[in-house]
Structure 1
Amino acid sequence: MRIKIIYKIYLASSLLLASIISTSAHGQIRKASIKTKEKSSFPITTNLPLDPNVRTGKLSNGFTYFIRRNTHPKDRVIMYLANKVGSLLENDDQQGLAHFMEHMNFNGTTHFPKNELVDYLQKSGVRFGADINAYTGFDETVYQLPLPSDKPEILRNGIQIMRDWAKGAILDPVEIDKERGVVLEEKRLGKGASQRMQQKIFPVLFNQSRYGQRLPIGLDTILNNFKPATLKQFYNDWYRPNLQALIVVGDIDVVEMEKEIKLKFSDLNNPANERSRTKYTINLTNSNHFVKATDPEETATQVQVLVKREGLVVKTKKYYQDYIVRKLFNSMLGNRFQELMQQKQPPFIAGNAGIGAFIGNIDAFNINVAANPGEIEKGFKAAWREIVRLNRYGFTAAEFDKTKADYIKNVENAYRQKNTNYSDLYIGEYLDYFLRGNAAPGTEWEYRFTKLIMPKITLADVNTLLKEFDTDKNRDIIITAPEKDKAILPDETSINGWMKSVQQEQLAIYKDAFVNKPLLEKIPVGGKIVKQTELNEIKASDLVLSNGVRVILKPTKFSDNDILVKAVAPGGTSLYSDADYESANVAAYLVTSSGLGTYDYNQLNKYLAGSTIASGPYLADYNQGIQAAASPADLETLLQMFYLYFTNPKKDSTAFEKFISQSKGSLANRKNNPENAFYDTLSLVMGNYSPRRTPPGIEKLEQIDLDKSYNIFRQAFSDASNFTFTFVGDFDINKVKPLVEKYLGALPSAYKHEKAKDLGIHPPSGKITKIISAGLEPKATVRLTFSGNYDFGYENNLNMDAIAEVLQIKLIERLREEESGVYAPSVNIRYTKLPAARYSLNISLGCAPSNVDKLIASTLDEINTLKKAGPSVTNIEKFKAEEMRNHETHLRANDFWSEYLDQQALNQDDLTEITKFDSVMKNMTAESVKNAARKYLNESNLIRIILYPEGFKPEVNP
């Protein structure tokens, strides 16, 4: 259960670059249209069709439904209940109750009193939080429920749960009072610099509209004191069938599902004296706004310019064409900003610009800059200069032609995957269709229309787009910065002066230096497959090449047009001294940002644009490798890149100096954020105080040497005989083998058989307590860690997973539901085999500072109960149900197999070990889990790390 984030936050060099952009439930930008001067051959009044693969209908009471059969994943279904009910509908005395109501639907409904809903779902294999969840936004509240669909009883109960969520909440006053603390703890987690600055910015940014007065999380005074009758009034007014829709996508019988929906939802009634649902908007007044917000805990100086305009929903062919034009525009402008970032001395730490949906009924053209310390004018002018250049000269024909071709390739790739898309993809489209009225014509229609319309879209269409936003009306300028820089921040007159001065500059026309040429100058002489072993139990082939390279091939039909490729070898940065660590730690990043072969970074991106290739090498603590993906058509290009990583990685001093410059900028105010103090301490203690785990700083940057980094990368990727490559996905083994021989068989091999060194970087033994005092908000962060040596093995690992899950269940029950002291306690288990068999069980929670000792005591009490009495049979059965359902899904997912084979190869474990799952789960008992807990959850090896706000005096009992 969560608050809907209605603005996107872009992360740039660990800094928040605020961009207030509305998103759908799955992060998809709302397709607000942009008008162009195109004289389309398609009438503007021609509405787009709804995806013919979805069955939709509306009951006599106004309740809407969408049903689609989709067999990926098999035997699974996802149900969403969408309500056009959000915080904008709250009365003054109800602020926060839309979100509170969302919580209460999990705390007792007609057929599932109190917490029986979560209990039932866990027994059915559904995890609370991870699977069953909900969110509340300004305009909607949405509930999600993924279920197994191969058991009719569970499926029927799933529909009953959705029916109860639609109108079946009990709203017991006792449960309401218990939930107050949970909601307030959720609100506490969001407090900090961003939240404090938003309070200053939002009213101005939202034009003093209701959006600035009704943030979904609500007000403490109301959340603490509202009467149950006030919540019931909100519920009775707005939870009604003519504002609701049920979306069901999955491996189901559509006809039977429709019958069940009609049976369950037809008796819902709208209120006799129905309140009118006001559609709140942001009015454009043609006025400009300027606002500055500073905070002691802010880490970056950021400038954002937004030119706002009325947004139009995509319903017609013409507006879909306009949407494509906008995508082309954003892609080309994004490339230009990316090139700015690749300069030796980038003008800013991060920057971007584009046209997109803003919030509610508004679109905006956004320019965002995170400035280098003391260089806000330089950074802003550099970004504005690109906008002026574009407005003056437009995009080039070469940029336009290539971007169009790349866009078509991407649409074609999506079309090829249409038969194996996961259900989540369709859910997002139908949600957007119901909640915001955006068209959902389906993949096939979008593919055909794009192919048809793209030749008719001209360069003039795209170049005209920016001119529509070339205005000094409805323009907002927002500056956020650390409090200490308040005196040196520009005012509105200064910003306007900077814009004017750039407008008067003599700017050169943009020139694209890209030249298309082969990735490899010469095709290598390959090797041969010298050994092949069939792994029939997992339907894979294990190959050895003449140069010692190991290759595992697992063809699947889980996802069309998609192949995941990984390479891994032991060693990593552990093979280098502490003095060389910083150079080793960034070696893969520096090579990646330099380019590959004869292409620099920007040229390589342009060469690969439109392809499905994603690829990146890495050097971790104890291994090195490559993680990549491609379509079958792009696989040869990907393997050429692999060949270049081993034989011709690029070294670019410009990329190096860019990295150093940006890193210094990011570090300048890093200490302002109290969470950094917490995680720096956590890293240091959990790393056994190794110099490799000390906080980042300028002195560490000064240890990095480009030549050393480059040579370390060359060494790490010099001996292919130590590598295992795994291929999982949509391919024909007989077609892949020749490519494997041709490129992987040509890789250099030294047969050194290097192993990772154990550097002792692991949590130390003993009872350790570390207290950090930082931060202005009354909130604490707690991490408890049990760790030590471990008997690594498949059965033991599953028992440890069981410990983590049953403990998670118990902590939610006690810390959240009984004590109302936390929002979301988290239990995480980690175990490793190499370079030494170790485990760590981590418990994390956020809470009020005054509750820390109490909640730690409750947590340790639950752990001691687990060790003494073991988990309940019910909770073991819950774990088994969840794990077995997850296992079924994993076995039909490329990403699972790719990660599994990669890790088994690295650990030199049996690749068919996964076939033991059923027998291990069958033999798992409460006793076996209790024995594991007694062995590994030893309080003599317990680390407590606690972040308190400044000035708070804790009483810690180590």
Structure 2
Amino acid sequence: MAIQLLESERIAILNGITPSELNDWRNSVLTHERLQQDSAEQLATDATDHFLEGWPMVGQKNWLSLLENRLPKFSTKEMSDSLKGLTNNQPNIWLIGHDSTVQPDHSELKNWLMEAEITLEENSLDPIEKTIDWSISSDMEGTIISTEQSAHQITTWTLGNGMTVHFKYSNQAPGKVYYSLVGKNGLNALSSEESIIARLALPAIGLSGLRNLDGTELQQWLGNHSITLTPYYNFFSRGISASSTSAEVDTLLNLLHVSLTEGSVSPKTWDSVKEQNENYLKAHLNSSSKNWLGIVDSALYLNDPALRTLELQELESITPNGIQNIYDTYFKGAQNYTLAIVGDVSLDKVRSEVLRAVATLAKSEHDSTPPSKTRNYPNPTSSVTLAVSGNGTQSASVVLRYSLSKTKAVQFTEVELALMASWVREELTLAIREKAGLTYNISAVLDGQTIFQDSYTLIISTNTDPANTKELIEEIDSTLTALLTIQPPVLKVQNWLDSMEADHKQALNAAEQQAAVISGAEIYGRKVAKSFEPLTVSNNFTPSFLTNALRGFLSKEAVRTQLTWLP
């Protein structure tokens, strides 16, 4: 099977790159590079390459400019010819396995290769795409009730159908536009039965396609037109993220309208999705990770149906009608949605398209969920220590979680708690990796920033030799206890804050990320403008704040969960 897969890939290369594949690659490269900035490490690497190999020293800004100028000029023929030159010869195949693996003899290898032979296709072009009309019609007249200009050049429109739309101009990705649609409340607003259906509803509807295109044809059409369209439904929210060229912004918002009015599931597609998930669940029953996922489901997710592993009988109970009902009730129409549009397109153009394609969405009968009917993200209520075996590797995975109710941490800002995690990570790295040599890497992160999480959680995770598991956990505990008697140096705290702020700025440099931050601000309990402001600490902040914050996570009021996954 492995040889057949490799041969399939080699023949696919010889067949040539399709226009949609080239577009996808080009877009992914540019998206990645637009997020990058010059760093001291990268500049040092560039200088070394220049000195040793004569490679030109090109800063990130000039490098991006070169890519934006050159990549659009690449043709499928040019790329395919280059690849054929590299792969046209017969490949050498090396089989590498464990010492205990029985090695095939020459005749077996020859048979495998003959079975894997795949014939070159006559042409390498994408299939001819279907003609599709994305025009929309609505009985509603689109209206804007109010317009607000806020900080950071963000324009906000409140629409007559109750939706809120934010627009921010950005040429960070020239000729591109992004949107992020977010509806407050996701699986946390559904019953147990609805949660199970909703987890698979959007994948099934997405694979069913739109209008006269099935799922495969839709993805091909989107790729050929450099458009992305990704619906989602998670614990906290539901919505769509999408992008296109600036010239296609009208089509992009037409697709938003169609996605929120015409979604449906094909019974045939659902049968295929169900079969894939059945195969996964059956494999899960016999997998080495079954016991580990079992304790994660019970100890961390408290067996919440929105998060835990599904059961086969639950999958069997899902029907196309049930999926359609989830879409019609919780996804369709103008619900409690916030739409953020960011990109290289004019304010007037966006306003006219919003009036035409977004403000004309009919208001849903189910446009919000009362807070009394939502539930917070599950969090362990009592400390527990659990260990299972069967991870299939030669090392043990250790996860320590310290959860503290937000009511016990009101005196600290989230920035200060994140600084505490940075301090813990640095001190654990010094004690456990550098001094004790018990692990190669150890992380400490803070979780709990959404409004649907009633606790902050300090999560420490690492891997170690199974024989050192007990010693490692004891070393973590003793290091954390020792930190309660000291406070970090002022200079180090400032360095951590500077690093966090640099990461914050770099993330917000991307137009796509700006759209996500604006649309999701409510989920994190923030004002939109606040998300764009520099990270700060309290006016009376001192490094002792970090010591006191850690004291709360190690106190009896916190819940400690210790999970160990052994070979």
Q: Secondary structure at the match of 1:807?
A: helix
After superposition, where does 1:322-471 map in structure 2 within 5 Å? 353-354=8-9, 365=10, 403-404=18-19, 407=22, 422-423=37-38, 454=75, 457=77
Matches within 5 A, 1:518-667: 518-520=133-135, 522=137, 526-536=141-151, 538-667=152-281
Aligned partner of residue 303 in structure 2, secondary structure:
coil
> In the superposition, relative to structure 1, how do residues 422 and 703 fare at CA in structure 2: closer, same or farther (>3 Å)?
farther
Residue deviations 1:29-63 (CA, integer Å, cap 9, x gap): xxxxxxxxxxxxxxxxxxxxxxxxxxxxxxxxxxx
CA shift for structure 1 position 633 = 1.6
Letter in 1 for 2:292: F
Q: 1:766–1:941: 8 Å Cα contact kept in structure 2?
A: yes
Corresponding residue for residue 401 of structure 2:
785
> Which aligned pairs between 1:280-299 and structure 2 lie closer than 5 A?
none
Which sections of structure 2, spanning at least 5 residues, go unmatched? Answer: none
Does the 8 A contact of 1:612 with 1:634 survive in 2? no
SS at 1:548 equivalent? coil
Amino acid at match of 1:783: V
CA distance in 2, matches of 1:841, 1:412: 36
2:368 counterpart residue number:
753
Asked if the contact 1:303/1:478 (under 8 Å) is kept, the reply is no
Structure 1 distance, partners of 2:158, 2:81, is 54
Q: What residue number does 1:943 align with?
A: 561
Residue 871 of structure 1 corresponds to: 488
Q: Which amino acid aligns with 1:730?
A: D
CA contact (8 A) 2:155 2:166 kept: yes
Taking a change above 3 Å as real, the CA distance of residues 945 and 448 of structure 1, as seen in their structure-2 partners, is: closer
Aligned equivalents of 1:443, 1:532: Cα separation in 2: 35
2:425 is matched with which residue?
Answer: 808
How far residue 842 of structure 1 moved from its aligned partner, in angstroms, is 0.8
Gaps of 5+ in 1: 1-300, 308-352, 355-364, 368-386, 950-958
Alpha-carbon offset, residue 448 of structure 1: 7.4
TM-aligned CA distance change 1:865 to 1:564, over 3 Å: farther
CA contact (8 A) 1:645 1:717 kept: no
Output the CA distance in 1 between the equivalents of 2:355 and 2:124: 46
- Aligned equivalent of 1:713, options 327, 333, 339: 327
For the aligned residue pairs, the C-alpha RMSD in angstroms reads: 4.5
Give 1:732 shift: 1.9
Q: Deviations over 1:275-320 (max 9, x none)?
A: xxxxxxxxxxxxxxxxxxxxxxxxxx6444556xxxxxxxxxxxxx
1:689 paired to 2:300: no
Identify if the C-alpha distance between structure 1 residues 486 and 887 changes in structure 2 by more than 3 Å, giving closer, same or farther.
Answer: same
More off after superposition, 412-421 vs 716-725:
412-421
Q: How has the CA–CA distance of structure 1 residues 628 and 511 changed in structure 2, closer, same or farther, with 3 Å as cutoff?
A: closer
Structure 2 residue 395 is the aligned partner of structure 1 residue 744: no
Counterpart contact for 1:305–1:476, Cα < 8 Å: no
Three-state SS of the structure 1 residue aligned to 2:537 is helix
Q: Measure the CA separation in 2 of the matches of 1:917 and 1:715.
A: 39
Aligned pairs for 1:847-886 within 5 A: 847-886=464-503
* CA distance in structure 2 between the partners assigned to 1:446 and 1:694 by the alignment: 43
State the alpha-carbon separation in 1 of the partners of residues 480 and 333 from structure 2.
Answer: 47
2:276 & 2:101 partners in 1: Cα distance? 21
Establish whether residue 898 from structure 1 lines up as the match of residue 512 from structure 2.
no
Classify the secondary structure of the residue corresponding to 1:828: strand
Assess, with a 3 A threshold, how the Cα gap between structure 1 residues 418 and 602 changes in structure 2: closer, same or farther: same
Shift of the 416–700 alpha-carbon distance from structure 1 to 2, 3 Å rule, reads closer
Q: Does 1:840 align with 2:453?
A: no
Say if 1:442 and 1:555 are closer, same or farther in 2 by CA, change over 3 A: closer
- 2:537 is matched by which residue type in structure 1? V
Counterpart-to-counterpart distance in 2, 1:468 and 1:836: 52
1:134 equivalent in structure 2: none
Q: Which of these residues, 517, 535, 546, is aligned with residue 132 of structure 2?
A: 517
* Whole-angstrom distance in 2 between the partners of 1:626 and 1:462: 34
Write the distance in 1 (CA, Å) between the matches of 2:509 and 2:68.
27
CA deviation after TM superposition for structure 1 residue 783, in Å: 0.5
CA distance in 2, matches of 1:778, 1:934: 34
User: Residue 666 and residue 778 in structure 1: after superposition, are their counterparts in 2 closer, same or farther (change >3 A)?
Assistant: same
**Does the aligned pair in 2 maintain the 1:673–1:775 contact within 8 Å?**
no
Q: 1:526 Cα shift?
A: 4.7
In structure 1, the partner of 2:338 is 724
Matched residue, 2:537: 920
Q: What displacement does 1:804 show?
A: 0.8
Alignment CA distance shift 1:431-1:551 (3 Å): farther
Q: Which has the larger radius of gyration?
A: 1
Kindly provide the CA deviation profile for residues 568-589 of structure 1, in whole angstroms up to 9, marking residues without a partner as x: 1123223332233321111111
Residue identity matched to 1:837 = D
2:32 & 2:111 partners in 1: Cα distance? 51
- 1:534 Cα offset (Å): 1.6
Contact 2:36–2:506, Cα closer than 8 Å, also in 1: no
Question: 2: distance between equivalents of 1:885 and 1:769?
Answer: 37
2:242 is matched by which residue type in structure 1? A
Q: Quick one: which amino acid aligns to residue 433 of structure 2?
A: R
User: For the residues of structure 1 that align with 2:272 and 2:110, how far apart are their CA atoms?
Assistant: 31
* 1:632-680 deviation per Cα after TM superposition (whole angstroms, max 9, x unaligned): 2222221111111110013223322222233333444446654564344
Counterparts of 1:658 and 1:479 in 2: how far apart (Å)?
35
Normalised TM-score (structure 2): 0.82
> What are the equivalent positions in structure 2 for 1:671-686 lying under 5 Å apart?
674-675=288-289, 677-686=291-300
Determine helix, strand or coil for the equivalent of 2:93: strand
Distance 2:377 2:33 in 1: 46
3-state DSSP of counterpart to 1:920: coil
> What are the Cα deviations for residues 457-511 of structure 1, in whole angstroms up to 9, with x where unaligned?
59xx96998799788x545386999x99999xx94465356457x87xxx99999
Q: Within 1, Cα distance between the matches of 2:192 and 2:102?
A: 36
Q: Is the 8 A contact 2:377 2:452 kept in 1?
A: no
Query: Aligned pairs, how many?
Result: 554
CA contact (8 A) 1:570 1:755 kept: no
Q: Deviations over 1:804-825 (max 9, x none)?
A: 1110111111111111111110
The structural deviation recorded for 1:885 is 3.1
Amino acid aligned to 1:717 = F
Rounded Cα–Cα distance in structure 1 between residues aligned with 2:449 and 2:73: 53
Partner Cα separation in structure 2 for residue 851 and residue 901 of structure 1: 45
Say which is worse superposed, 610-619 or 887-896, in terms of deviation: 887-896
Aligned-residue offset at 1:597: 2.7
Alpha carbons of 1:930 and 1:903: their partners in 2 closer, same or farther (altered >3 Å)?
A: farther
* Map of 1:827 onto structure 2: 444
Which residue does 1:242 correspond to in 2? none
Alpha-carbon distance in structure 2 between the residues aligned to 1:509 and 1:900? 40
Change (3 A) 1:554 1:513: closer
* Partner deviation per Cα, 1:424-479 (whole Å, 9 max, x = no partner): 9x989999999999999977777877888859x59xx96998799788x5453869
Aligned twin of 1:769: 385
State the secondary structure of the residue aligned to 2:520. Answer: helix
Change (3 A) 1:860 1:726: same
